[in-house]
Amino acid sequence: MLKNKMKKLICGMTMCITVCSQMIFPQTAFAATKAAVEKAGEAFVAGMTETAEAEEVLSEEELRQQIVDFALQFEGNPYVYGGTSLTNGADCSGFVMSVFAQFGYSLPRVAADQYNQSAKKSVEDLEPGDLIFYGSGISHVALYIGTGQIIHASTSASGIKISNYDYEAPVGVGTYIEADGFFSE
């Protein structure tokens, strides 16, 4: 956002310099404009390089843990059928979708679609951040948090809670997180 504003400011300043200098010094207008653009461009590129170098690259394990830690803060919040709000209420797939959205993932809205589009795994290979699916026709989804536990939007009576992953027999496991941080179909 700041970079775009800076670009617009630089372009605006350049146009002003061009118009004003053409009116006052038509012979040197082009040279002045060119110098201003080159100087502003160099500063902008230098700023972008510093920003890119400062961005932290997470390992897969760190990303998984950040997703789990983020999800855990919503334990105790309400279950709302059809909801996607992490604070005001979500259903199981809305909860998972909204948690992953905070990390740049765009998951489908419905649990069955989340399963169908995920990379499949076995229960034996579960890692924090994986999704566990339940029910015939995939009617429920939960986020695996490690040590045999999940966090999920369970029912309107219990809300978002932690349970053992095998509180009900899982019908599938999927992930959207891979070694490069993102799963792509």
Is the CA virtual torsion 166, 168, 169, 170 positive or negative?
A: negative
Which pLDDT score, from 0 to 100, does residue 16 have? Answer: 47
Contacts (Cβ under 8 Å, ≥6 apart) of 131? 96, 114, 115, 118, 141, 142, 143, 144, 173, 174, 175, 176
Question: Which of 37, 66, 39, 16 lies closest to 177 in space, CA to CA?
Answer: 66
**Active site (annotated) includes residue 16:** no
**Active site (annotated) includes residue 92:** yes
**pLDDT tens per residue across span 108-158:** 999 999 999 999 999 999 999 999 999 999 999 999 999 999 999 999 999
Catalytic choice (11, 16, 20, 140): 140
Checking if the pLDDT of 6 tops 80, the result is no
180/105 Cα distance (integer angstroms)? 13
Checking if the pLDDT of 10 tops 50, the result is no
* pTM metric for this prediction: 0.69
Q: What distance lies between CA 42 and its chain's CA centroid? A: 31
Residue 41: pLDDT band (50, 70, 90) is low
**pLDDT tens per residue across span 86-113:** 999 999 999 999 999 999 999 999 999 9
Checking if the pLDDT of 28 tops 90, the result is no
* Tokens coding 77: 């919040």
Which pLDDT score, from 0 to 100, does residue 26 have? Answer: 55
Angle between helices 92-101 and 60-72 (to 10 degrees): 130
Residue 57: pLDDT band (50, 70, 90) is confident
Mean pLDDT for the chain? Answer: 82
Which pLDDT score, from 0 to 100, does residue 5 have? Answer: 46
136/115 Cα distance (integer angstroms)? 12
113/18 Cα distance (integer angstroms)? 55
- What does 63-113 look like in DSSP terms, one character per residue? HHHHHHHHHHTTTTPPB-TT-EETTTEE-HHHHHHHHHHTTT----SSHHH
Which pLDDT score, from 0 to 100, does residue 185 have? Answer: 44
Which pLDDT score, from 0 to 100, does residue 135 have? Answer: 97
* 162-168 own/partner pairs: CB under 8 Å, 24+ apart: 162/72, 162/75, 165/126, 165/132, 168/134, 168/135, 168/140
Which pLDDT score, from 0 to 100, does residue 179 have? Answer: 61
Which DSSP category does 156 fall into?
Answer: T
Checking if the pLDDT of 21 tops 80, the result is no
73/102 Cα distance (integer angstroms)? 13
**Active site (annotated) includes residue 140:** yes
